[in-house]
Amino acid sequence: MTRYVTKRVLIGLATLFVILFVLFLMLRFMPGTPFNDEKLTAAQRALLYAKYGLDKPFLVQFWNYFTSMLRGDFGLSYVINKNFAVSSMVWTRLAVSIRIGFQAMLLGSVIGLLLGIWSALKRNTWVDTLCSGISVFGVSVPSYVFALLLAYFIGYKLKLFPILWSTKNVAASTVLPTISLSLFPVANIARFTRSELIDVMNSDYVLLASSKGIKTWQLIWRHELRNALIPIITVMGPLLVDLLTGSMVVEKIFGIPGIGSLMVQAIQYNDYNVVLATAFVYSAMYIFTMMIVDILYGVIDPRIRVAKEG
Amino acid sequence: MKKLRLVLVLFLVVSLLTACGGTSTDTGSTTVAKTITIATDLDLQSMDQQVATDGISFSMQDLVLSGLCTLSDAGVAEPELASSWDVSADGMTYTFHLVDAKWSNGDAVTANDFVFGWRHLVDPKLASEYAFIMDTIHVVNAGDCAAGTKALDQLGVEATDDKTFVVHLTQPCDFLLSLMAFPSFFPVNEKFFEAQGDQYALSVDNLLFNGPYTMTSWTAGSEYVFTKNPNYFNADSVKTEEIVFKYVSDTQSAMLSYENGDVDYVKLTGELVDAYKGKDGYTQRLAGYLWYMSVNFTNSKFVQGGNLVKAISCGIDRDTIATSVLKDGSIAAKGIVPTGFATGPDGKDYRDTTDAFVTYDPAQAASYYKAAVADNGGKDYSIELLFEDTEASKAVAEQIQSMLQTNCPGLTITLNSKPKKTRLDMMQHQQYELGLTRWGPDYADPETYMDLFRTTAVDNNNGRYNNPEYDKLVNAADVNANSTERWQQYKDAEKILVQDDCGVIPVYQSGGAIMINPKVTGIRFHSAGVDSYRFMVKSAS
């Protein structure tokens, strides 16, 4: 088991290193530079290049970046927040995205599960049709359209929650973005829960349990849902990473200082260090999740480990 | 069912409580509102006035810092920290007399703060992108100091005593005073600066203020709060207690907040301009940005003053582009110098006393194009137009394409859209044919535009336009102490550049459509330099 985990971790780290190198290479080949303004003279540009070490050979630049990164120093921002430490910029923004992502996931899971259970129980009735309708709506309507609808009806018409992010009222500012982002998990989880639950409900052991006279809610909670949850949790993993890394469009609509909008800004402005750091964080989060999934598979089903190692 | 009802009730109570907390407007006991909120579609990049390069950062700095002068509504320099000034007879020495003012830490603002700030701007170690502006006003040794070939103490500035700041120039400069309201020239408290090290100006705690406001909250990517500065030397003139800037890149949600009364100022874009045009609060402003097509003369297709460039210049209906495509208050360009931008020695606007050097004439365009094709051995031209990937540039480029292909039958215009930084890079390396670009002036003088197209201006003359006659006129004008003569030299040079040679093809002068809460007054828009929000007031009733 230790060997298996060590191997997974090493592969994860190597992948991250390759991603970092390729990103670094791609950025340097991208046309334009961070210091590219109508008013900047060639001499002044040369000074700026020297100041930030961009005049050094590519491999030296990469090595300097990589070694400082290991110390937690992701360099300085050249454009977006001039001379700010990128690590603190990314961290502050990531915290906001993670908060909204978690809230959305929590809300989405609870409502999704409830809708799924309800429609499985009331199969082929109007309830089921309604829940399927909500699922189809949630999967097909992009979150930004839903975000605009929420901003208009709940923010503007009903004036229940602020539309724009406000540092004086952060909790209330997160309500509308949380609801907008939760729509997709609601739809997905409801759909999965319904189909998994129907499968389980038709199985022999459930029929046996129910014929023994166990109460309906106990049956659902103790026997049906527990078994149906396993595949649902598999779906929730990638959904969570998606939500945590922020949604650039929803962030734009509600003026949220999250990491999604930061990455888009960074690419537009050629702010090298910010592009690198945000892309690195994205990759790291994905790789970390995959690694956990891989390791969990190994724990749950030792055959996977044996087969791969064999 | 009971539980569900309980949850619903709880939800409603929480919602109502939050709503009540979020939308209150404090009017106080006075007749002006306490807070004014501005939505900005561009984010704050730096609070260091010698590092910043963008308009919104400069505007926020203008709230917290004062320089020697401020600009009136009309863009005329008025006394601020300098109560008065003397100019030597040869126009090459300016002596500023300072008022008694204080920094927010209690230190007095002295002439030495200006000396340090100005030296800091040209310090090669700082490598400020705005270092060039010191040379623009011709301060002695500015270029050499910025290049590192002369020590900073050789810069032509001195503090003869705590209250007297003297600037020495290599040649007279008509627009020096208006630039004294530009943040790059604002003072820096040396002691405070040194104490902050590399953290200077990176948070509210590492900033020092001498202007009408202090910065009290800085949430990067979101919200910036400015509170009235009791130490400001003219604090009685400041009526608004708090100014909030909110960075919102989505105009639609910014407008919903405006409608809710949470925001007082939103810059409109796209369809929203049409939707709000004519409504109470709708404001149009003319900016000093002039958009033009740069022609790459290193490409053998194009000849200065040739038939092809003339066909292109005559074939564009600039009025239609401004009024039917952009619709945001933009106007057709009449030359390379904008309208309502620079006031001449006669007190009149430059453009009011100068001919329009571009005209729309489809018949003429067709005949120029026919001649160009004949010059080309009967072969039609295909030309690529490079532009940046913004909504406005795209719309303008498509319109130019359609106009030219209609008015010059046989001509093909292909479009190439790139992000701004990439477009600039391609243009700086002459990797384009026609490039839609602009210049944003920092000071209100034709010089800022005319200097761009001199043969020696390799950093900006991307198309490598080259006419010795033009160079001679502009170089002579730049150092001419006789303002009337100087003005005429620029007009003559502009005629050569735009009308005779079609060395650049001016298209439009950009405007801006804004929704401003009708209760808010006192915002000073300037076509050159910085928009100032420091005099803003919102009536409470």
* Integer-rounded Cα radius of gyration of chain B: 26
> What pLDDT, on the 0 to 100 scale, is given for residue A210?
83
Query: Given a cut of 60, is residue B112 above it in pLDDT?
Result: yes
The overall average pLDDT reported for chain B is: 92
Shortest distance, CA A90 to any CA of chain B (angstroms): 11
Which residue of chain A has the CA closest to B146?
A: A44
Shortest distance, CA B362 to any CA of chain A (angstroms): 32
Q: Are B71 and B181 in contact (CB under 8 A)?
A: yes
> Tens of pLDDT along B326-345?
988 899 999 999 999 998 89
Shortest distance, CA A62 to any CA of chain B (angstroms): 23
> What pLDDT, on the 0 to 100 scale, is given for residue B4?
43
Residue B5 confidence class, pLDDT cut points 50, 70, 90: very low
> Tens of pLDDT along A138-183?
889 888 889 999 999 999 999 999 999 998 889 999 999 999 999 9
Segment among A274-288, A289-303, B229-243, B398-412 with least mean pLDDT: A289-303
Q: Distance (Å, rounded) from C-alpha A258 to C-alpha A245? A: 9
> Tens of pLDDT along B49-101?
999 989 999 999 999 999 999 999 988 999 999 999 999 999 999 999 999 99
Give CA separation, B408 vs B309, B321, B358, in Å.
Answer: 12, 18, 17
> Tens of pLDDT along B13-58?
444 334 333 333 444 445 899 999 999 999 999 999 999 989 999 9
Shortest distance, CA B298 to any CA of chain A (angstroms): 19
| Closest by Cβ to A253, choosing from B128, B250, B426 | B250
> What pLDDT, on the 0 to 100 scale, is given for residue A300?
62
Judged on CB neighbours under 10 Å (0-12, 13-18, 19+), A146 is buried
Q: How many residues does chain B have?
A: 541
- Asked if the Cβ–Cβ distance from B19 to A159 is below 8 Å, we say yes
Among residues B318, B319, B324, which one has the least CA distance to residue B273?
B324
> What pLDDT, on the 0 to 100 scale, is given for residue B307?
96
> What pLDDT, on the 0 to 100 scale, is given for residue A308?
52
**Phi, psi (rounded to 5 degrees) for B96:** -105, 135
B367 Cβ contact list (under 8 Å, min separation 6):
none
> Tens of pLDDT along B146-200?
999 999 999 999 999 999 999 999 999 989 999 999 999 999 999 999 999 999 9
Is A262 near chain B, with CB under 8 Å?
yes
> What pLDDT, on the 0 to 100 scale, is given for residue B30?
55
| Closest by Cβ to A36, choosing from B15, B425, B438 | B425
Q: Distance (Å, rounded) from C-alpha B485 to C-alpha B489? A: 6
Residue of B250, B257, B294, B391 to mutate, interface with A, max A Cβ within 10 Å: B250
Query: Given a cut of 70, is residue B431 above it in pLDDT?
Result: yes
Q: Distance (Å, rounded) from C-alpha B44 to C-alpha A275? A: 18
- Asked if the Cβ–Cβ distance from A51 to B419 is below 8 Å, we say no
Give CA separation, B318 vs A105, A302, B287, B333, B406, in Å.
Answer: 52, 73, 17, 7, 15
Query: Given a cut of 80, is residue B10 above it in pLDDT?
Result: no
- Asked if the Cβ–Cβ distance from A32 to B51 is below 8 Å, we say no
Q: Are B277 and B329 in contact (CB under 8 A)?
A: no
Is A283 near chain B, with CB under 8 Å?
no
Residues in chain B closer than 8 A to A107 (CB atoms) = none
> What pLDDT, on the 0 to 100 scale, is given for residue A219?
82
Shortest distance, CA A211 to any CA of chain B (angstroms): 27
Residues B276, B278, B281, B282: is their CA dihedral positive or negative? Answer: positive
User: Six-digit token pair at B75?
Assistant: 């863009």
Helix, strand, coil in percent for chain A, rounding step 5? 80, 0, 20
Count of A-B CB contacts under 8 Å: 164
> Tens of pLDDT along B494-516?
999 999 999 999 999 999 999 99
Among residues A2, A1, A14, A7, which one has the least CA distance to residue A287?
A14
- Asked if the Cβ–Cβ distance from B45 to A82 is below 8 Å, we say yes
- Asked if the Cβ–Cβ distance from A163 to B53 is below 8 Å, we say no
The mean per-residue pLDDT over the stretch B341-361 comes to: 92
Q: Which domains can be identified in chain B, with CATH numbers?
A: 19-247+517-538 (3.40.190.10), 288-511 (3.10.105.10)
Using CB atoms and an 8 Å cut-off, which of residues 424-443 of chain B contact chain A? 424-426, 428, 437-440
Q: Distance (Å, rounded) from C-alpha B320 to C-alpha B506? A: 14
Identify the segments of chain A with pLDDT beneath 70.
245-246, 297-310
DSSP string, B267-314: EE-THHHHHHTTSTTEEEEEEEEEEEEEE-TTSTT--TT-HHHHHHHH
Is B83 near chain A, with CB under 8 Å?
no
> What pLDDT, on the 0 to 100 scale, is given for residue A229?
74
User: Six-digit token pair at B214?
Assistant: 């202090």
Helix (H, G, I), strand (E, B) or coil at B386: strand
> Tens of pLDDT along A47-79?
899 999 999 999 999 999 999 999 999 999 999
> What pLDDT, on the 0 to 100 scale, is given for residue B43?
93
> What pLDDT, on the 0 to 100 scale, is given for residue A17?
93
Among residues B273, B261, B223, B242, which one has the least CA distance to residue B517?
B261
Residues in chain A closer than 8 A to B15 (CB atoms) = 160-161
> Tens of pLDDT along B290-337?
999 999 999 999 999 999 999 999 999 999 999 999 988 899 999 999
Q: Distance (Å, rounded) from C-alpha B459 to C-alpha B452? A: 8
